[in-house]
Amino acid sequence: MGPEPVPVTGTLIWYVAVCPRQTWLMGHNIEPFRDHELLALGRLLAETSYPRERKELELPGMKVDVLRRRPIDADEDEALVIGEVKRSPRAQHAQRLQLGYYLLRLRDAGLHVRGELRYPEQRRVEQVELTPELEAAVRQAIQRVEELLQLPQPPPPVRIPACTNCAYYEFCWVSEAEPTTERVPRNRGRKRGSSS
């Protein structure tokens, strides 16, 4: 019996759109290599972008990168804007699901919020609204995460393009990587609430 799974989080919603195995590993506190350069770059970008607007909203299972009030004359239904800071729109489907999950959680808490995907390196912003289609996709993703986390073992690795830059690469494909004794993922024993 492995470690107990964590509850559904926005990060897991992102992962489930990319790789079920990654979802299981992250959902069971099997930590990826924190010195992986793309993870470090994502953390740095999220921490240093938009310093004037930057505030954090943290609830169980979610930590929003950017939160600001709309101008005073804005529609009252959109008084708050939350944002996710990303390096590139390459996995935008997963990014929209993650942000949609936050919008759904906040709407269920009685807050009317609009979302933005922010790409500081490209100086680009994508608006995200919780449409019925996005809500249905988010609910499906939540169900998929819950089903995956009930599995006693992670699904077997399946090679996909995302493997190339995945922090679990050596964990999944160790026989194809350089022999290593140092970079073994460890059980973190703590919950995770946000992503890069």
What residues line the site for ligand SF4 (CB under 6 A)?
Answer: 19, 21-22, 157-158, 160, 162-163, 166, 168-169, 172
Least distance to ligand SF4, CB of residue 15, Å = 9
For residues 33 and 169, which CB has a smaller minimum distance to ligand SF4 in the complex? 169
Residue 136 Cβ vs ligand SF4, minimum distance, rounded to whole Å: 25
The smaller minimum CB distance to ligand SF4, of residues 101 and 169, is found at: 169
In the chain, the N- to C-terminal Cα span, in Å, equals 29
The sign of the torsion formed by the CA atoms of 176, 92, 151, 26 equals positive
Least distance between ligand SF4 and beta carbon 20 (Å)? 8
Nearer to ligand SF4, 15 or 102 (CB): 15
Q: Pick the closer one to ligand SF4 by CB: 42 or 120.
A: 42
**Please, what sign has the CA dihedral across residues 124, 126, 127, 128?**
negative
Backbone angles phi, psi at 124, to 5 degrees: -135, 145
Least distance from ligand SF4 to the Cβ atom of residue 39, Å: 12
| Choice between 33 and 101, CB closer to ligand SF4 | 33
Comparison of 90 and 107: residue with beta carbon closer to ligand SF4 = 90
